[in-house]
Every structure is written in C-alpha cells, then in structure tokens.
Amino acid sequence: MYVSDILRNKGARIVSVKADDPVAEAIALLCSNRIGAVLVLDHQENIVGIFSERDIVRSVHRHGKALLDKPVGELMTSPVITCSPGDPVASIEGMMTANRFRHVPVVDGGRLVGMISIGDVVKHRIEEAQAEVDALRRYIAL
C-alpha cells in the first residue's frame, strides 16, 4: 500500500498559515480543524515549515504566553521532510518513528498534494491487516 491510498481515502485538504501569521491564529486553526499541525507556506504555496503541537509546547516553555503574538515563522520546524504519493506506507511509518514526527506533507512533482499523520498511517495499516485476516478466513472456510 502507498501514500496515495491514504490520500484517496482521506482527501487532499491542507490547512496552512503564512510565516508572518501570529501563533494565536495558527492555534485557532489547529483547534477548529481538530488537527495537530499546520503547514507554513510562502506566498507561492511552497512549504517553508510546519507548526505543530510540539512546537507550541516548546514555545510555551521558552516564551510563556508572549508566544501568542509571535509570528509562526519564528517557532516553526524547518526544514520539513516530505514524502510522495508513490512511497510505501511501511517506509513512511518507519521514517516517522525514526525521526519522531507525526505529520508529513505529500509532494508530487514539486506540488503539495496533501498531508498525512501518524494516525492516518496507523489507521491504514490496521485496515490492511484486517483485510488480510478476512482473506485468510475466507481461504480457510473453503
């Protein structure tokens, strides 16, 4: 199974901010969309960073409540590791685990086409395992 299979089920919706947007605005987007990270895009829609719940926690520790007025670009994680639709889900799962991040933008031919989370990967892997179990049950029942 491939990243494209996850996107086919999940969709390609991308929530993003600009580097000069205030952190408070990014936090509002995270809450209203019930997500753990937003992409930080430049004016040409290129990825310049990612801003996640972990960035918020680190920033609260460093800046206290003053972080709410800071621009996202000062606190985001950059550079961002991406994947492509043709990447196997198992390799993305390994990459996310090894590098300790939970969100990966999906880029195809230099164009941003979606974003997947570790939750998306785990859900997909569970569905894949269940399909194998079902196939084995059908085989045994024959």
**Annotated domain spans of the chain:** 3-141
Whether 32 shows a pLDDT value over 90: the answer reads yes
For residues 72 and 51, is the Cβ–Cβ distance under 8 A?
yes
User: What is the model's pLDDT at position 130?
Assistant: 87
**Percentage of the chain surpassing pLDDT 70?**
100
Report residue 45: phi and psi, to 5°.
Answer: 70, 25
pLDDT category of residue 47 using cuts at 50, 70 and 90 = very high
Q: Classify domain 3-141 by CATH number.
A: 3.10.580.10
Average pLDDT for residues 38-52, to the nearest whole number?
A: 95
**Whole-angstrom Cα distance, residue 50 to residue 103?**
9
Question: pTM score, two decimals?
Answer: 0.85
User: What is the model's pLDDT at position 7?
Assistant: 92
Q: Which residue has the higher pLDDT, 128 or 27?
A: 27
Condensed to tens digits (0 to 9), the pLDDT of residues 55-101 reads 999 999 999 989 899 999 999 999 999 999 999 998 999 999 999 99
- Which helix (H) or strand (E) segment holds residue 53: the answer is helix 53-63
